[in-house]
Amino acid sequence: MSGGPDPGDLEPGADRPPVTRLSGEPPSPWETSFGFSRVVSAGGFVMVGGTTSVDGSGVVVGVTPYEQTLAVLSKLEAELRRCGASLADVVQVRGYVTDISRSQEVGRAFSEAFGSVRPLFTLVEVAALIDPRMLVEFEAVALKPR
């Protein structure tokens, strides 16, 4: 196994559309050190990786799951817009929470943000997120409008 990706995997191939990889706005402190992108646009899809409520200064926005979910979904929407999509285009969301007993708070914020869009949604409890102040993390997949 090599020490990194095959450069051919990073170039658009003749049989596939180009892939665009973007850091978050603001980027998380882990994107560079862990070597990942926050947003990937490929074909007609936009995928937003794990997003928490941390702001550009490293402050976790919100102290409740409800508040953090609203902040995370606002960040997801901003990331989607960078690639020509919106929350209305989201087809799947995965959520990770540190206390599933508070899922009603997460669900209320989710419902307020998505309204009648009703994407697929999976919510699971995890032992912890990367920062103990973080209670909620989401990732999303959207289908770009034509």
Q: Which helix (H) or strand (E) holds 142?
A: strand 136-143
pLDDT tens for each residue of 10-36: 555 567 778 888 777 877 777 777 888
| Structure tokens belonging to residue 125 | 């409890």
For the cut 60, the answer to whether the pLDDT of residue 7 exceeds it is no
Q: pTM for the complete prediction?
A: 0.85
In the chain, the amino acid numbered 17 is P
Domain 16-143, CATH homologous superfamily name and number: RutC-like (3.30.1330.40)
- The residue whose two tokens read 């995997």 is 9
pLDDT tens for each residue of 75-116: 999 999 999 999 999 999 999 999 999 999 999 999 999 999
Burial class (CB in 10 A: 0-12, 13-18, 19+), 90: buried
